């Protein structure tokens, strides 16, 4: 395998240009996949990111880059380009409103960033996730193929055969190392361990975007605390993004409409137009500390592996992606398995520790997972 130094240039290509084999295949073009790919810059390896959606793809997310992620980005990336930011550009902190509070009080959370207790004056960034993720991918220098669904994979002990689907047609790619960065409902994880997937609990979330006004200052990430669940909203350009988490008592959609009524009555929410509705599911891997790093030459990163720091998923994705990429590179030189290097990587060890510390703080701050 050629590991000589060469500068790779980011190229987004059509499925027709997909080769039959790559040194490294990464599934998913989110922060975890892009960060894993970035570790191979200058390695001379043939790296491809395959993404099931059309790029630039959207992602249901508040798009708040918390101080830990900011720190990581400033140490590992070029400056975030202007077009990635949404207004207001800075998120000053987290504020909570409670559906139980008749006084309509707004409280400021003790720390915006539960991860790395950075100085309080450190604020978050407000970004457009589709632009942010696409920029991260471009910064990785890897080849990018969209509309390309990972279906499953087989490992014969030497090579991995990856089956992908594009517009109903199956293709096979052969690789040495596969990195699953395909989010909470990871098919790479399911392909590796269908048994693990059967043990997971799923948490539904629902989101709507409104052209709206509300009597609350923009530039904060607002959390709605509720006896059975929680939600959040953020001002992004002239639009308010509101989401709600399902509980045993009701669906995420029902909860969201209850939150809308609450915000109308207490904080003067006036909706002129609904511009987007969508749902997503998350799994409970982080909340049960049930991480799964992969097997042999197949590594899992980001949410696919369970790395979420309480309310911050982007930092865990960036950090674990980098660790997996570096471990894959190291394995090509050492002859040891990528998993061995990955599980011993100092970033993974540190990430586990941080996740373990911050998860219980959610309960202390009044967040209820009613599942």
Question: Nearest to residue 93, comparing CAs of 121, 53, 115, 117?
Answer: 121
Using the rule CB under 6 A, is 299 a contact of ligand FAD? no
Give the nearer residue to ligand FAD in terms of CB position, either 316 or 338. 316
Kindly list the strands in the beta sheet with 202-213, ordered across the sheet, starting from the edge strand earlier in the chain. Answer: 107-108, 94-98, 221-225, 230-236, 239-245, 202-213, 270-283
Instruction: Name which position in 183, 306, 325, 338 contacts ligand FAD (CB under 6 A).
Output: 183
Is 368 near ligand FAD (CB under 6 A)?
Answer: no
CB-based contact 185:205 (threshold 8 Å): no
Measured from the CB atom, the residue of 214 and 285 that comes closer to ligand FAD is 285
Which member of 32, 114, 246, 328 binds ligand FAD (CB under 6 A)? 32
CB of 195 to ligand FAD, least distance (A): 19
CA gyration radius, the chain = 21
> Which residue from 137, 5, 144 is spatially nearest to 77, judged by alpha carbons?
137
Q: State yes or no: residue 328 binds ligand FAD (CB under 6 A).
A: no
Distance in Å, CB of 206 to ligand FAD, minimum: 9
Contacting ligand FAD within 139-178 (CB under 6 A): 149-150
Under rule CB under 6 A, residue 223 binds ligand FAD: no
Identify whether 98 is preceded by a cis peptide bond (ω within 30 of 0).
no
60 lies in the site for ligand FAD, by CB under 6 A:
yes
How many other CB atoms are there within 10 angstroms of residue 238's CB atom?
14
H or E stretch including 325? helix 314-334
Cβ contact 178:297 at 8 Å = yes
Stretch that binds ligand FAD, among 40-48, 64-72, 74-82, 267-275 (CB under 6 A): 64-72
Q: Binding residues for ligand FAD, per CB under 6 A?
A: 27-33, 50-53, 57, 59-64, 66, 69, 149-150, 181-183, 187, 205, 207, 243, 280, 282, 302-304, 308, 312-314, 317
């Amino acid at each position: 395998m050629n590991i000589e130094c060469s500068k790779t240039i980011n190229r987004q290509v059509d499925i027709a240009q997909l080769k039959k084999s790559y040194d490294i295949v990464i599934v998913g073009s989110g922060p975890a996949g892009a960060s894993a790919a970035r570790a191979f810059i200058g390695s001379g390896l043939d790296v491809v990111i395959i993404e099931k959606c059309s790029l630039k793809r959207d992602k249901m997310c508040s798009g708040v880059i918390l101080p830990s992620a900011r720190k990581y980005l400033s140490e590992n990336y070029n400056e975030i380009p202007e077009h990635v930011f949404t207004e207001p550009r800075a998120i000053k902190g987290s504020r909570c409103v409670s559906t139980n509070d008749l006084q309509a009080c707004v409280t400021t959370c003790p720390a915006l960033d539960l991860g790395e207790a950075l100085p309080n004056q450190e604020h978050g960034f407000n970004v457009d996730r589709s632009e942010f993720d696409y920029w991260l991918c471009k910064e990785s220098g890897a080849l990018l193929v969209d509309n390309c669904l990972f279906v499953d994979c087989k490992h014969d002990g030497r090579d991995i055969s990856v089956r992908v689907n594009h517009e109903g047609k199956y293709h096979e790619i052969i690789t040495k190392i596969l990195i699953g960065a395909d989010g909470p409902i990871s098919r790479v994880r399911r392909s590796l361990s269908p048994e693990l997937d059967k043990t997971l609990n799923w948490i539904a979330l629902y989101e709507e975007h409104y052209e709206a006004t509300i009597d609350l200052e923009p530039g904060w990430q607002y959390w709605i605390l509720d006896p059975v669940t929680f939600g959040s909203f953020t001002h992004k350009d002239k639009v308010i993004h509101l989401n709600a988490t399902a509980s045993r008592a009701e669906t995420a959609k029902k909860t969201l409409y209850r939150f809308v009524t609450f915000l109308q009555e207490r904080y003067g929410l006036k909706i002129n137009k609904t511009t987007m509705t969508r749902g997503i599911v998350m799994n409970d891997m982080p909340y049960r500390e049930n991480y799964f790093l992969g097997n042999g030459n197949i590594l899992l990163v980001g949410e696919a592996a369970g790395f979420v720091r309480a309310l911050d998923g982007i930092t865990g994705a960036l950090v674990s992606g980098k660790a997996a990429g570096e471990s894959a590179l190291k394995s090509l030189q050492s002859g040891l398995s990528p998993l061995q290097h990955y599980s011993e990587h100092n970033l993974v060890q540190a990430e586990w520790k941080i996740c373990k510390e911050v998860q219980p703080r959610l309960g202390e701050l009044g967040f209820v997972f009613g599942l």
